[in-house]
Amino acid sequence: MNRPNAEPEKIHEEHVEGSVIGDLENPKNTSRGTAAKHSDLGAAWLEHYDGPRTEITDEDNNAVQRRIDSFLLPIIFLVYFTQQLDKSSLSFSSVFGLKTDAHLVGQQYSWLSSIVYFAQLVFQPLSIYALVKFPVNYWICTCFFGWGASLCIMSAFKSFAGLAAFRFILGAFEASISPSMLVVVSMWWTRREQPLRNNLWYSANGMATILGSLLSYGLGHAKSSIHPYQLIFLVCGLIAVVLSIPCFFLFPAHPTKAKWLSDHQKYIALERIRLNNTGTQSTTFKWSQVRECLLDPKTWFCVVNIFCISLVSGGITTFGPLILQGFGLTTFQTILYNMIPGAIGIASNILSALAVVYLKRKLPVLLVASAFPLAAAAALYTLPRGTQHKSQLLGVYFILQVYQCISPLIFSWQFANTAGHTKKTTTTGMMFIGLSVGNIVGPQLYKSKEAPYYHTGLTGNLIVLCAMFGLIICQALYLAMLNRRNVQRRIAKGKTGAHVDLSLEKSSKWQELRERQRADQAAEGHVETEGAYNDQAFMDLTDLQNEDFIYSL
């Protein structure tokens, strides 16, 4: 199996096709200690690993993957479910008299939704830095406790000022959670496995909508001395506070820190991730990678795309119950029907992820998924309102909910195509800035005076969905160009241009594909030394620096 035994003696930075990349010189000639000091945490652990170092088999891979799935995936799902439950508590409480009981007027309800994302904008730089410098599990669990406590305290307020202040604090604690989840998934699962895992934890959003609606309906009708919205905030916040404590002890910081993996299983876990060429985690913050991130066009493609879909999501999430009420539904019917989008979100997330795994391509899945909300938004704009049109309106509204699978697919696409730990966290932070801005703008486009049609909001949705559709195609063309460039770079370094990306293949095919590649190399007159491919995976290089990197389309 290919192994990174050294850090290059030096990295020469040069400008290639408009991007800052590194040209590595003879990475085999330096000490392993240098690699451990300056590169990935996985390299530091491998330096001292004295167990067997063999190519992983299908059986080895599947055993470790199942163990990771069973221990780690439920924790990630639970953390994100709780975050979405707490953030969506505002939407749930809107149908139980929040506006009246808290004396909200004008656009104040919209601002209570948007202010969470202002906080995330402000605290994203801290999130980027923290995800490099601190153990990711401690950072996640601290934020987990913090937003639960914030929501509990928020239940004490009965005016816009107090609610807004603690919605801001809640948003500050939530700023790191989704970026952290992406970092965790990238350090534990191969690129083939990541879309399904990302979409599974993201589907907790739908589960929070379903269970949160039921919980809110029960709490909204409970006999209590406090307003229904206060009870909803208090209970949802307490759930997060309580669950954050066991999470603190069970969440591993890194594959090498998992107590439920043996040393050999940790080795297999790292060798699985080597195939991604994206590494696991480095604690050295590298400003050169920040600069590269800012100059990389694919970063901006994804930032704009995530802004577009978040604008749609922000408006629909905040005003969804009110839109449903505009169809002529009662309060109970609104809560009941508001659970269906949650189920659609879960189904669309899982089905789209399975389609990506089957096709090994995200482009066609994203284009098909984008077509559903685009058509639904156009139909919802033109349809009249009223109980006589309820069936058509509900059908179109439910088709619109397919948008929920798009965000995790965009995040998976970008994370699969970004290497270098500082660059990954910076890219994720920038994308969540786009997400925050979209969620700020989205609710503001829905004007209370335009109820029940909300034409301004739906017009905005149509514009950004069309823009996103075109940008997805542009991004795929750019990634194809980068792959062609890397073929030429490999040939220039004496390697075969063709390189099999095992991270997108079933482990049952790995041995066959390895043997085929070796045969092709021999036929072309190449004699590859061990580690010729993927030997730089744990050197904390960026995707633009590593000629072995293959971009996923």
356-394 residues labelled b (16+ CB within 10 A) or e (exposed):
bbeeeebbebbeebbebbbebbbbbbebebeeeebeebb
Structural domain range at position 318: 58-481
In a domain, 85, yes or no: yes
In a domain, 370, yes or no: yes
In a domain, 88, yes or no: yes
CATH number (domain holding residue 418): 1.20.1250.20
Q: What are the tokens at 506?
A: 């079933």
Q: Is pLDDT above 70 for 1? A: no
Taking the whole predicted model, whether its pTM rises above 0.75 is answered as yes
Instruction: Please name which of 538, 302, 295 lies closest in space to residue 433, comparing C-alpha atoms.
Output: 302
Q: Is pLDDT above 80 for 10? A: no
The answer to whether 174 and 140 have CB atoms below 8 angstroms apart is no
The pLDDT-based confidence of 322 (bands split at 50, 70, 90) is confident
Our measurement of the distance from residue 374's CA atom to the centroid of its chain's CA atoms, rounded to an integer in Å, reads 22
Q: Quick: pLDDT tens for 158-201.
A: 899 999 999 999 999 988 888 888 889 989 999 999 999 999 99
Q: Quick: pLDDT tens for 117-154.
A: 889 888 888 888 888 888 889 999 999 999 999 999 99
Query: Residue 155 and residue 434: Cα distance in Å, rounded?
Result: 29
In a domain, 513, yes or no: no
In a domain, 47, yes or no: no
- Report how many domains make up the chain: 1
3-class SS shares of the chain: helix, strand, coil, % to 5: 70, 0, 25
> Which residues on neighbouring strands pair with residue 215, listed in sequence order?
none
DSSP per-residue letters across 453-468 = T-HHHHHHHHHHHHHH
Mean residue pLDDT of the chain comes to: 84
Query: Residue 310 and residue 406: Cα distance in Å, rounded?
Result: 10
Average pLDDT over residues 225-242: 91
Q: Is pLDDT above 60 for 273? A: yes
In a domain, 312, yes or no: yes
> Which residues on neighbouring strands pair with residue 13, listed in sequence order?
22
Query: Residue 122 and residue 125: Cα distance in Å, rounded?
Result: 7
Dihedral, CA of residue 424, residue 425, residue 428 and residue 430, to nearest 10: -110
Instruction: Please name which of 241, 228, 63 lies closest in space to residue 155, comparing C-alpha atoms.
Output: 228
The answer to whether 438 and 347 have CB atoms below 8 angstroms apart is no
In a domain, 53, yes or no: no
In a domain, 527, yes or no: no
Where helices occur in 275-338 by DSSP H, the ranges are 287-295, 297-325, 331-337
